[in-house]
Structure 1
Amino acid sequence: MQAWRTTEFRIGFALFCLLIILSVLGPYILNLSPTQFNVSKKFLSPALLDHSSWPYLFGTDQLGRDLFTRSLIGLRNALLIGITSVAGMFILGSAIGMISGYFGGWAGLLLMRITDAQMSIPAIILAITVLGVSRPTPLAIILVLILAGWPAYSRVARSVTLSERRKEYVRAIKILGASDARVLLVHIAPNILPPIAFVAILDIARMMIFEAVLGFIGIGIQPPTPTFGTIIADGTKYILNAWWITTVPGLLLAITLCCINIMGGALERSRNKILLGFE
């Protein structure tokens, strides 16, 4: 992987891994409840600015809950939904794209028309329709995001498969007796990974934003489980007097997205160099 050789990618990857570790272990290290009310300690300013607020590093919200712990759990939920949904999009979209591109015919045409129809439905409309009439559990949100995002992967996979199936090595392998399944999984699938990897990395950021939007409008993961969207939505009512309620989760989300975009940018530049023959 050429991108790994770049300092830019390594920095983004290291920071991203650090954020994942922090989201998993941070709440246990801080040992502060993200859901327990303590009205006597509501609207405490961040301890980084006011030492009397210790141990609430980034202050408390309108119910006296530790904001940093809640933001870390929100980050954990956003990462879980973002990574899992992108993995599902990749598997489903790649499978449909490879089958369509490799076998062609009426079946391939039908799969592409289904793909086009799915792409015509805005993701937010699909999410509101499905989650508005069902309980918005993490699994339901992941399934909705997969349903909304797989067509992009299908198109990339189909394009690569159409190109690869015409090459001499595929014909040679089939003459030697390899099955269609082996050709697809062993020989064509690895060629799909480089172009899709760039899409997948940036899609993690996109799905994290989408999860926050769903929480903000009230159809994401429901309270008392903290999410970026619900924390920011609650904080907008007190933004003039307690700005940290919206700032802390927003800043944590922005840092995470920057790390992902750094990795995606390094991966794209590395891929362009390979295509142009510089490496």
Structure 2
Amino acid sequence: MSVAEANLDLKATAPEAQRGASLSRRIWKAALASNEFRVGLVIFAVLGLAALLYPALSGIDPTKMNVAGRLQSPPFLGDKWSWAAPLGTDQIGRDMLVRSLVGLRYSLLIGLSTVVVMLIIGCSLGTLAGYYGGRIDMVIMRITDAQLSIPMIILAITVLGVSRPTIPAIILVLGLSSWPVYARVTRSVVMTERKSEYVRAAQVSGASDFRIMVWLLAPLVLPPIIFVSVLDVARMMIFESILGFIGLGVQPPTPTFGNIIADGRKYLLNAWWIATMPGVFLCLTLTSINLMGASFERARNRIYGGVS
């Protein structure tokens, strides 16, 4: 049998990999069937669609100043509701609803993109360490230990403090700060499975190491990290907001949760909605993500508990 034929026939000789993919599907279905996951998904979908569509449909520029309309309170605090500024305006007259939704858009972009970077780096290095072992494993794990010893927020402040904090830079810094957890989980799974009979059979048949790692071992890594990655989206959104609050996030006039709340802290007594409204949107988004992540975790524990 040629190497090409062995690679094409790899899935047929990988019952454990198919089992891993099956477990992933079962976890997804079990989580989707829970009311908690559905509530979280609905909240997340509504907020995501609003952030994506409303700023464009409203035609309101989130950075345009209107000094004549500054510090307008939300209409629901008065006698009459109005869509002119449904959540009020800030200290220079900018619409708080549009600014909060644009801030949510950037926060989600950074959170999701950062988790993707973490997954790519962590799972790749963890797979290499677990599959090859020896010196490769030792070097990667020592790098992982060194990375874990540095608090993420300290590393982010150090790097972004001496460079321009653009969106790609923030994503890269947060991603490079948080990949070790994924590397350790992936290494543990791959190291357990690399001596299995189906992996040895694939090696004997001529399958390349890359194909074995991608088609046989990667499906087994997905179930342990799926709920961790969901929860990490919320964690990265929090860190992005912290960086914005201390002035090391996306820079004004681009609105983000962090810099909006930082601007509004000076007006908490007479214009509390400036800092409160983006905080409400952030809390709702984090709650929805945590509901979905917790559902994944419970579904995983229930399914793995029933697997002999």
Q: Residue type of the partner of 2:96? A: L
Any residues of structure 2 matched to 1:93-108 within 5 Å, and which? 93-108=122-137
Match of 1:179 in 2: 208
Task: Measure how far apart 1:130 and its partner are.
Answer: 0.8
Distance 2:249 2:98 in 1: 19
Q: More displaced, 28-37 or 233-242?
A: 28-37
Q: Residue type of the partner of 1:167? A: S
Any residues of structure 2 matched to 1:12-91 within 5 Å, and which? 12-50=40-78, 51=80, 54-91=83-120
> Please, what TM-score do these two structures have when normalized by structure 1?
0.97
Q: Is the 8 A contact 2:114 2:175 kept in 1?
A: yes
Judging changes above 3 Å, is the alpha-carbon distance between structure 1 residues 266 and 32 closer, same or farther for their aligned structure 2 residues?
A: same
Q: 2:184 aligns with which of 134, 155, 159?
A: 155
Distance 2:39 2:200 in 1: 42
Task: Measure how far apart 1:53 and its partner are.
Answer: 5.8
Q: More displaced, 79-88 or 11-20?
A: 11-20
Distance 1:191 1:78 in 2: 30
Any residues of structure 2 matched to 1:110-259 within 5 Å, and which? 110-259=139-288
Task: Measure how far apart 1:11 and its partner are.
Answer: 2.2
Distance 1:110 1:235 in 2: 47
Matched, 1:9 2:60: no
Q: Is the 8 A contact 2:43 2:284 kept in 1?
A: no
Distance 1:79 1:153 in 2: 20
Q: Is the 8 A contact 1:56 1:66 kept in 2?
A: yes
Judging changes above 3 Å, is the alpha-carbon distance between structure 1 residues 168 and 229 closer, same or farther for their aligned structure 2 residues?
A: same
Structure 2 runs not aligned, ≥5 long = 1-27
Q: Is the 8 A contact 1:8 1:262 kept in 2?
A: yes
Task: Measure how far apart 1:278 and its partner are.
Answer: 7.4
Q: Residue type of the partner of 2:50? A: L
Q: Is the 8 A contact 2:230 2:289 kept in 1?
A: yes
Q: Is the 8 A contact 1:44 1:53 kept in 2?
A: no
Match of 1:262 in 2: 291
Bigger RCO (CA 8 Å, 6+ sep): 2
Structure 1 runs not aligned, ≥5 long = none
Judging changes above 3 Å, is the alpha-carbon distance between structure 1 residues 17 and 52 closer, same or farther for their aligned structure 2 residues?
A: closer
Cα deviation per residue 1:88-146 (whole Å; 9 max; x = unaligned)?
A: 10011000000000000111110000011011111111111111111100000001001
Task: Measure how far apart 1:52 and its partner are.
Answer: 6.8
Distance 1:144 1:236 in 2: 27
Task: Measure how far apart 1:19 and its partner are.
Answer: 1.4
Task: Measure how far apart 1:48 and its partner are.
Answer: 2.5
Task: Measure how far apart 1:164 and its partner are.
Answer: 1.4
Q: Residue type of the partner of 2:203? A: K
Task: Measure how far apart 1:40 and its partner are.
Answer: 0.9
Secondary structure of 1:48's match? helix
Task: Measure how far apart 1:29 and its partner are.
Answer: 2.1
Who wins on radius of gyration, i.e. which is larger? 2
Match of 2:16 in 1: none
Cα deviation per residue 1:164-211 (whole Å; 9 max; x = unaligned)?
A: 112222122222221111110001001111111111000000000000
